[in-house]
Amino acid sequence: MAATDLKENGKKKSVFTKKNIIITISLVAILILVIVSVRVSLGNIAEEFEGEKITKAKTVLGQLSVIPIQKSDTEKLKGYNEDFNKNTDWKDNELILSNLCDFATLLLKYYNEKPDDTESKEYLKFANNVIKKIDSKIFKPKNYSIIAKSRNYSLFCSLTRLLNTFEYFADDSYRDTKIICHNQILHMIPDFNKLHLDGVTDSNIGGYLKGCESIYTITARLLTNAISNRDLYNVDVKNRGVIKVLKEQFAVLSNDAEKKNNFNLYPYYYNMYEIFSSGQS
């Protein structure tokens, strides 16, 4: 009898142990599923939030003071296109190139208003041709000296704004040019606070930027990486603390009226800062 009882007790313990193991495994599996589900949900929320930032950034890039396009601008475009190579020759003059970049950016904004319009597509085509010309004259030969001639970063700002705007607005039929835009921004800005200009040996701009000028490099880099290289974007935001740097530098500008007045495209850069800093502690 004793032996039989021991066997029965052993079987009961064995069954009980197996049940415990099954229950434990089930609970662990459920816990894992919950954790994965929460992570996926949080990831989707984060992606949606970052997507909203991209939409808002695109809105800022497309802001226009006057709609529709002015007759003077259509005449200007016509003049450029009569002999594109000749009439877009900046003759190593940084102001001429800066104005050309600004005009191409303006046309991209008008294109964005009516992207399906036949005339609007000519605006996009012109901006594409300008970037391709800059690529052949500056980027490919790696001679960025004209950018350094603009000692207050004005040409650099006009150029990077053009590249960012094209990357956001152009359709995929211009994918090659969009890649040029992204790659060249990262080439000129290999680190969030570093401006690298090939072919420039002595300049008062370039190198590591510790002052308010870092706003120029951080913003251009954030904009391109937000849509083209999310890993780099996350490194800059989460690991390098670029939003904190922007906050500090805008605080400097807010306390120095003269410096703020002389800062290139202040409303543009501040609007971008507000967008990318939202949700950041």
Instruction: Calculate mean pLDDT across residues 212-223.
Output: 98
Contact 208, 156 (CB under 8 A): no
Q: Is residue 230 part of a domain?
A: yes
Residues 182, 267, single domain; the answer is yes
Q: Is residue 258 part of a domain?
A: yes
Residues 33, 76, single domain; the answer is no
Tell me the two tokens of residue 170: 């152009």
Percent of the chain's residues with pLDDT above 90: 73
Q: What is the pLDDT of residues 101-120, one digit of tens each?
A: 999 999 999 999 999 999 99
Residues 66, 40, single domain; the answer is no
pLDDT of residue 137: 97
Strands 207-208 and 194-195: antiparallel
Which range, 37-51, 54-68, 126-140, has the best average confidence (pLDDT)? Answer: 126-140
Q: Is residue 157 part of a domain?
A: yes
Q: Is residue 57 part of a domain?
A: no
Residue where the block lists tokens 């990486």: 225
Residues 20, 153, single domain; the answer is no
Residue where the block lists tokens 């990077």: 160
Instruction: Calculate mean pLDDT across residues 29-38.
Output: 62
Residues 142, 74, single domain; the answer is yes
Give the count of beta carbons closer than 10 Å to the beta carbon of residue 203: 15
Residues 151, 213, single domain; the answer is yes
Q: Which residue has the higher pLDDT, 49 or 234?
A: 234
Taking the C-alpha atoms of residue 244 and residue 238, their distance in angstroms, rounded to an integer, is: 10
Per-residue confidence at 8, pLDDT binned at 50, 70, 90?
Answer: low
Instruction: Calculate mean pLDDT across residues 80-84.
Output: 98
Q: Is residue 265 part of a domain?
A: yes
Give the DSSP letter of residue 170: S
Per-residue confidence at 40, pLDDT binned at 50, 70, 90?
Answer: very low
pLDDT of residue 181: 99
Residues 167, 30, single domain; the answer is no
Instruction: Calculate mean pLDDT across residues 200-228.
Output: 92
User: What is the DSSP track for 97-112?
Assistant: HHHHHHHHHHHHHHHH
Instruction: Calculate mean pLDDT across residues 256-280.
Output: 95
Least confident interval from 65-69, 97-101, 126-130, 132-136? 65-69
Mean pLDDT of the chain: 89
Taking the C-alpha atoms of residue 281 and residue 264, their distance in angstroms, rounded to an integer, is: 27
pLDDT of residue 21: 73
Q: Is residue 125 part of a domain?
A: yes
Instruction: Calculate mean pLDDT across residues 205-222.
Output: 94
Taking the C-alpha atoms of residue 61 and residue 235, their distance in angstroms, rounded to an integer, is: 24
Tell me the two tokens of residue 261: 């007045």
Residues 141, 201, single domain; the answer is yes
Taking the C-alpha atoms of residue 244 and residue 215, their distance in angstroms, rounded to an integer, is: 11
Per-residue confidence at 13, pLDDT binned at 50, 70, 90?
Answer: low
| Structural domains counted in the chain | 2
Q: Is residue 25 part of a domain?
A: yes
pLDDT of residue 230: 96
Residues 20, 136, single domain; the answer is no
pLDDT of residue 42: 43
3-state secondary structure of 208: strand
3-state secondary structure of 28: helix
Angle CA(89)–CA(91)–CA(96) in degrees, nearest 5?
75
Residues 106, 30, single domain; the answer is no
Residues 47, 81, single domain; the answer is no
pLDDT of residue 73: 97
Residues 241, 117, single domain; the answer is yes
Q: Is residue 2 part of a domain?
A: yes
The phi, psi pair for 191, rounded to 5°, reads -140, 155
Domain that holds residue 248: 62-277
